[in-house]
Amino acid sequence: MKTILYATDYSENSVAALRLAHLMTKKFDAKLFVLHVFDIPLTLSSVSISHIKKEKRLLIENHNRLKEFCTEHLGDTWEGCSIDFIVEENTSVAQGILENATKLEVDLIVVGTKGTSAIKDFLFGSATTAMIKKAPCALLAVPAMSPLEDFKTMVYATDFEQADIFAINKLVRIAKKFNALVRIVHISTPGEYAGDQQMEWFKEMLRQKVTRTKMEFDLILEEDVFVGLNRYLEKYHARLFAMLERKDSSFYQKFLKTDKVKKMISDTSIPLISFNLGAL
């Protein structure tokens, strides 16, 4: 991982994401881009010259504010890192982030989430969800209450697909930097199919194509996938949840049927990293 893009709106929701982006930057000796996207609403009375002047003033003000934001929440530690500050106007914040990610060819986008659970935010709708689906690289969503600590356990939810192997390979590279254990889990409903046979096949595929690291495999039988996922994350004290974003619905999305499931999805404050199938 050579380049990381962190986007902020200066809110408390984005502080944990900043600290984690900074930690990842140090772990990978990467370059960090700190981005703020703002919008100047146009009105019928707007004059083009005054608009340009206002834009220039806001660009300067926000550039200084970005540095102050980093100093406030990182102290002086950020000054030794390779950090570039970017401020630009765009009517869509999400679009501005994605355009910069593409232009800068970054390997990871880091953003904060407004809710306490990045997993819930992803599954049930947010601006982060829209970015995940279109991101040209991996996207790390960090809840506001996420503690800053070295990840000891990372969980990847698999549906035994070929593409999962490429995503796990990327996750393993991150895990090695933190000396973390990667737990691969598949949660199956009764009567779905012979999950144990699928798991053995999947293990063999991973041994052939994924660089060695600490990995454990688990097959969970559960009526409600989200109940099983919630219990699993809590049982193993997961510090990062990883998944593959596909153009079609991923394996757990097809089980989004009842309000009961929505209520039981994990409220844990762990970050979520999504690997976009199109970017693998």
Q: Render pLDDT for 194-244 as a digit per residue (tens, 0 to 9).
A: 667 888 888 888 888 887 778 999 988 887 777 788 889 989 999 999 988
Write down the pLDDT at residue 79. Answer: 63
pLDDT digits (tens, 9 = 90+) for 169-189: 999 999 999 999 999 998 877
Taking only the tens place, the pLDDT of each residue in 55-69 is 778 888 888 999 999
For the cut 70, the answer to whether the pLDDT of residue 123 exceeds it is: no
Annotate 10-66 with DSSP letters as a single string: SSGGGHHHHHHHHHHHHHHT-EEEEEEEE-----TT--HHHHHHHHHHHHHHHHHHH
Mean predicted confidence (pLDDT) in 120-131: 59
Mean of the per-residue pLDDT values for the chain? 80
pLDDT for res 260: 39
What average pLDDT does range 110-130 have in this prediction? 63
Q: Where are the beta strands (DSSP E) in the chain?
A: 3-7, 31-38, 83-89, 108-113, 138-143, 153-157, 181-188, 215-221, 240-245, 272-276
Query: Quick check: 33 pLDDT over 90?
Result: yes
- From residue 74, give the alpha-carbon distance in Å to each of 17, 53, 79, 244: 11, 32, 9, 31
Residues 6+ apart with CB under 8 A from 104: 3, 5, 33
pLDDT tens string 66-100: 999 988 988 876 666 788 999 988 888 888 999 99
Position 87 scores a pLDDT of: 92
| Side-chain half-sphere exposure of 231, counting CA atoms within 13 A | 13
What lies within 8 Å, CB to CB, of 264 at 6+ separation is 224, 226, 227, 230
Mean per-residue pLDDT for 267-278?
A: 79
Quick one: which of 160, 275, 155, 244 has its CA closest to 206? Answer: 160
**Residue 148 near residue 110, CB atoms below 8 Å:** no
Domains assigned to the chain: 1-146 (3.40.50.620), 149-280 (3.40.50.620)
Say which residue, 193 or 147, is predicted with more confidence: 147
Distance CA(269)–CA(212), nearest Å, equals: 29
pLDDT for residue 45 = 44
Strands 138-143 and 108-113: parallel
- E-assigned strands of 101-233? 108-113, 138-143, 153-157, 181-188, 215-221
The pTM of this model reads 0.85
pLDDT at 155 over 60: yes
